[in-house]
A and B are shown apart, each in its own frame.
Chain A
Amino acid sequence: MKSNILQSVDLTTLTQSERCIYAYLKEHPRAILTSNLEGLCREMYISTASMVRFCQKLGFSGYNELKFSLRQELEDIREDIKEIQYLLNWQLSVAMDSLSQIDLPLLRSICDELCRAKVCYVYGTDSSLMAAQYFHSIMTALDYRTILLQGRYLLEAFTYNFDETEDAVILLFTAHASQEYYSKILNNLKSSSRRVIWICSEENHSIPLSQEVFIHTQETNIIYRNIDFNFKLSTFTLIQVLIELIYQRVFPQLPPTSPDQNTSQNQNIQKRM
């Protein structure tokens, strides 16, 4: 199995210990995919600082970015997957990576916005619709006034007919950051006092943002016969963390989900409104 990322490394720029890392990763490119930074460094008997320096020399911001790019590159190479445990470990590592890339201070500020606003509009379409529905359903169960905008036409109609004084937050869940469509939507919303939070599976390269918060969820694309599965797992993970933050805020007297508790124990919590 060959990795283009590792193939393109200029060995002359690497120190002795970085060459050891390079040699190890060339031999075991999948090792990085199912290990965290500490675990992999322990395996290689190197410091985490050396590993981070190595990642930066390759042009990545850090370990997680190298891992994400390698995973994406190796996704279609499946010849060495022979054990079900390997596949499950892979899936679990996607979950752990999604959690480690969460920007908690940012989510906390979004949580503040959501708790302050009188109403929250949640938009989603196609594969993002389920993420929007999930957030909408749990927020409704938590007694938040949440309205689901299902599909593009509804979102567009909504942006042309909104009440500018309404104290609201708009949460957009999308798979793409398409210039022609979303720049119009954001433009329509510009004059309102509403805060727009845009959670997108791909990076935004072209739409200029002003007050909006943009989160790129860095989904691992898994293509099968030219169709992206769009599992949306990083988006669901982000939503769950946001829900837990809100849950903690609304019911501070009760702990968030804890594995110490019996799974069968129902937590009857008091109503917010």
Chain B
Amino acid sequence: MTQFHVDEAVMKSLSKNELSVLQYIYAHPQKVCSMSIKELSSQVCYSPTTVLRLCKKLNLSGFAELKYTLKSRLNHPAPTFSASKGESRDDTEILENISKELAATFHFIDHEQLLEIVTLLDSHKPLYIYSPSGITGIVAEYLQRLLFIAGRKQVFMMESPKLAQHMVKELSPDNILFLISTGGVFPPTLALARIAAMRQIPVIAISPYEVNTLSTLAQYNLRFFTIQRENSGAELTSRLPLFYLISALIRCYVFYKDGIRL
């Protein structure tokens, strides 16, 4: 499948506006193929210069090449869900939106980063996972459980922010810190990443594709697409892409452990 070249370095170089344009393109490839650059820029409410800058950062010569790349990718379209009896259009849109988030998350995974993370996981270095309270804590627990099943030894969970800071301050560079954040800006998680950076402890982070502080502090990054949501301060962002991303990571790790070099 033809893909844009979106590695971690490219992703980090994208501005918030450019990332929004990329997401629109990913969600509506068919539409974009028949658009001019002006039509696209008015649709996404950013200037044609932003679109062109994005093309350059994706290592494409311009908008025409982007459309060409998209057209070749349309041979493998994302599934669409048609409304059957008893289903309203709104319902099928829910399925489509979830499928687009997952497809975008998987298509933009940086293979090199993924392999580096798998290699690191395959080492004998103790692994520390920080579990912030709340919904992300469930994701951290999911990761720890799967690592145990995969046979990874020395996986430690840190639950309280103060205790976690204390523990990370005592760690040497021969340890690994695993941090997960849906926004990439959660202060207790960032505090741990900063301490780890000072102590030269390798940090693996899972954070969103948008520019975020956690991804800049971590040496190894896995990213995902999701929409940040909250209800008057109560955060309820979907973690579904995270569950899928972690299960893919674990499957790669198991293959690697069994000597299958991907």
What sequence of 0s and 1s flags, for each residue 242-273 of chain A, a beta carbon within 8 Å of any chain B beta carbon? 01110110000000111111111111111110
A104-B87, A258-B227, A263-B208 given; A142·B236 CB < 8 A: yes
B228 engages A266 (CB within 8 Å): yes
What sequence of 0s and 1s flags, for each residue 68-107 of chain A, a beta carbon within 8 Å of any chain B beta carbon? 0000000000100111110111011001100110101100
Checking B97, B239, B260 against A258 with a beta-carbon cut-off of 8 angstroms, the contacting residue is B97
A78 engages B260 (CB within 8 Å): yes
Please give the distance in Å from A45's CB to the nearest CB on chain B: 14
Task: Flag whether B210 is at the interface (Cβ < 8 A).
Answer: yes
Name the interface residues of B201-251: CB closer than 8 Å to any CB of A: 208-210, 225-232, 234-236, 238-240, 243-244, 247-248, 250-251
B94 engages A241 (CB within 8 Å): yes
Q: CB-nearest residue of chain A relative to B3?
A: A85
Which A residues lie within 8 Å of B10 (CB)? none
Checking A81, A140, A244, A259 against B262 with a beta-carbon cut-off of 8 angstroms, the contacting residue is A81
Name the interface residues of B129-147: CB closer than 8 Å to any CB of A: 134-135, 138, 141-142, 145-146
CA distance A81 to B98 in the complex (A): 27
B228 engages A265 (CB within 8 Å): yes
Which A residues lie within 8 Å of B226 (CB)? 257, 263
Which B residues lie within 8 Å of A224 (CB)? 149-151, 254
What sequence of 0s and 1s flags, for each residue 20-49 of chain B, a beta carbon within 8 Å of any chain A beta carbon? 100110110000000000000000000000
Task: Flag whether A163 is at the interface (Cβ < 8 A).
Answer: no
Which B residues lie within 8 Å of A105 (CB)? 85-87
Name the interface residues of A208-254: CB closer than 8 Å to any CB of B: 222, 224-225, 227, 229-233, 236-237, 240-241, 243-245, 247-248
Which B residues lie within 8 Å of A241 (CB)? 94-95, 98
Please give the distance in Å from B146's CB to the nearest CB on chain A: 6
A78 engages B146 (CB within 8 Å): no
Q: CB-nearest residue of chain B relative to A90?
A: B251
A84 engages B111 (CB within 8 Å): yes
Which A residues lie within 8 Å of B99 (CB)? 95-96, 99
A104 engages B247 (CB within 8 Å): no
Q: CB-nearest residue of chain B relative to A37?
A: B79
Chain B: interface residue total (CB-CB under 8 A): 72
Which A residues lie within 8 Å of B239 (CB)? 134, 236
A130 engages B138 (CB within 8 Å): yes
Which A residues lie within 8 Å of B149 (CB)? 224, 227, 229-230
Task: Flag whether A138 is at the interface (Cβ < 8 A).
Answer: yes
Name the interface residues of B159-209: CB closer than 8 Å to any CB of A: 208-209
Which A residues lie within 8 Å of B76 (CB)? 39
CA distance A99 to B80 in the complex (A): 11
A104 engages B98 (CB within 8 Å): no
- Interface segment out of the listed B55-63, B65-73, B101-109: B101-109
Which B residues lie within 8 Å of A256 (CB)? 90, 93-94, 97
A36 engages B232 (CB within 8 Å): no
A222 engages B251 (CB within 8 Å): yes
A108-B91, A137-B138, A231-B146 given; A142·B231 CB < 8 A: yes
Chain A: interface residue total (CB-CB under 8 A): 66
A137-B135, A138-B135, A143-B231 given; A257·B262 CB < 8 A: no
Task: Flag whether B158 is at the interface (Cβ < 8 A).
Answer: no
Which B residues lie within 8 Å of A78 (CB)? 255, 260
Which B residues lie within 8 Å of A269 (CB)? 229-232
Task: Flag whether B6 is at the interface (Cβ < 8 A).
Answer: no
Please give the distance in Å from A269's CB to the nearest CB on chain B: 5
Given contacts A92-B244, A104-B92, A138-B135, list 16 more A-B pairs with CB under 8 A.
Answer: A84-B115, A87-B255, A95-B99, A95-B106, A130-B141, A130-B142, A224-B151, A227-B149, A229-B247, A244-B97, A257-B97, A259-B227, A263-B208, A263-B228, A267-B227, A267-B228
Binding site for A on B (CB under 8 A): 1, 16, 19-20, 23-24, 26-27, 76-77, 79, 81, 85-87, 90-95, 97-104, 106, 109, 111, 114-115, 134-135, 138, 141-142, 145-146, 149-151, 208-210, 225-232, 234-236, 238-240, 243-244, 247-248, 250-252, 254-255, 260, 262
Binding site for B on A (CB under 8 A): 36, 39, 78, 81-85, 87-89, 91-92, 95-96, 99-100, 102, 104-105, 108, 127, 130, 133-134, 137-138, 140-143, 222, 224-225, 227, 229-233, 236-237, 240-241, 243-245, 247-248, 256-272
Q: Which 9 A-B pairs have the closest CB atoms?
A: A105-B86, A259-B27, A141-B234, A141-B236, A84-B262, A257-B227, A244-B94, A91-B248, A240-B240
- Chosen A-B contacts, 15 in total, with CB atoms closer than 8 Å, are A81-B255, A85-B111, A96-B103, A99-B79, A99-B99, A104-B95, A138-B135, A142-B231, A142-B234, A248-B90, A259-B23, A259-B24, A259-B26, A259-B100, A265-B227
